[in-house]
Structures are given as structure tokens and as C-alpha cells.
Amino acid sequence: MKDDAKTTPEAGAATGAGVTSLPHLFEPASSGRSKCRGCGKLIALGELRFGERLPNPFGGGEMTLWFHPACAAYKRPEPVLQALAGTSQNLPDRGGLERAARGSLAHRRLPRIDGAERAPSGQAKCRSCRQPVERGSWRIRLVFHEEGRFSPGGFVHLDCRQAYFETDDLRDQVLHFSSALSSEELEELRSALEAGPGARATEG
């Protein structure tokens, strides 16, 4: 069963853009048991899903990571654009997926967006201004991607978004990953995002 390993890179090498033999793909989910890597929710049976192929870091061969297409467009824009370029499949909202992926790819930190929430305590520090995020104020959650895994990467003040992401064009992306909020909270978040980047004053 030993695989020909001649193309395997050195262990530990950054393989985020690793060469795999099978292309990324879009397909209807053949079960209702796959979880989206982007939002953590189940992908319904028959629902369109995106599969990112990666070299398996735990041995030979490859693995496929499943996503809702929109979640992948925001969090894994490069493989999504590769897949779109490589298929003429008639995908629902293909144009929207491509726009979301191009938007996320335009600023290197945007794919880290994992939604927003009100800080449950005042203990976390903002990754942008390094000041504490006051309890009850809005913060954007970050995740970092490495070798197919997303890990928690801290927070930034909602008002530090322009400074950190270098763009204020992120409303839809933040809202997309904030579905755990109540509809009331979502409206508040939407208004806060539309109120302008609101640069935080840093006190000396």
C-alpha cells in the first residue's frame, strides 16, 4: 500500500498551495454528515459543497476538506478561484462566488474573518491597537489557516477594522460568519458596520 512519495515535500514545509493530483471540486453532498470547515455547520445532503484537495499532512495521499461554497469563497479564495477557472459547471450564483473570493483575496487579512460578537469579558486585547476589547463591545473574530486547519487567532475591535484589514469593504463577509447572533444583534452589527470605519482614537 505504500504510496510513491517522490513528490512529497519535506515534512513541515508549508504546503498550503501544495500540488495535488486531483483538482478542487464542486459537487452535491453525497451525505448529510460533512461539516463545513468555514462555519462549522453540517452541509445538507444534496446541497452543493466545495472540496479543497490538500496533501495529507499525516501521511501519504490527499485529503478533501468540505465547505459551503460561500464559506470557502471568503476563507479559501485561492482554491475557489482555481476551481472556478477549471470548470464550466453551471453553479448557482457563480458570479457571486467569484466576487466574494476576489474581494477576500484583495487584502491578505480578510480571509481571517470569522464573524463578530459582543465581547463577553474585557480580557482580550485587540490585535490591531493592542488595547483591551471592553466587555460588551463589538469585536471581529479571527482565525488563522495552516495546512488545512483553522485555529482561533484573537480579535480586533470592530472600530479597528479599517486599520487591521486595510479596507472597510467587509460587511457581507463579517455578517456571513455571524449567524450565531440573534436577528436583533445582527441588525445592530449591520448598522455598526455601515456607520463608517470609525477609527479608534489611541490614547498615549
Binding site for Zn ion (CB under 5 A): 36, 38-39, 68, 71, 126, 128-129, 157, 160
Pull the grid cell for residue 79: 482554491
Pull the grid cell for residue 193: 458596520
Q: Cα 70 from chain centroid? A: 9
Minimal distance, residue 72 CB to Zn ion, in Å? 8
Q: Which of 19, 46, 53, 13 lies closest to 32 in space, CA to CA? A: 46
Q: How many CB atoms lie within 10 A of CB 62?
A: 12
Minimal distance, residue 12 CB to Zn ion, in Å? 29
CB closer to Zn ion out of 15 and 161: 161
CB closer to Zn ion out of 36 and 65: 36
Q: Which of 111, 112, 116 lies closest to 192 in space, CA to CA? A: 116
Pull the grid cell for residue 46: 444534496
CB closer to Zn ion out of 8 and 48: 48
Burial of 69 (0-12, 13-18, 19+ CB in 10 A): buried
Minimal distance, residue 28 CB to Zn ion, in Å? 15
Minimal distance, residue 131 CB to Zn ion, in Å? 6
CB closer to Zn ion out of 15 and 29: 29
CB closer to Zn ion out of 39 and 54: 39
Minimal distance, residue 44 CB to Zn ion, in Å? 11
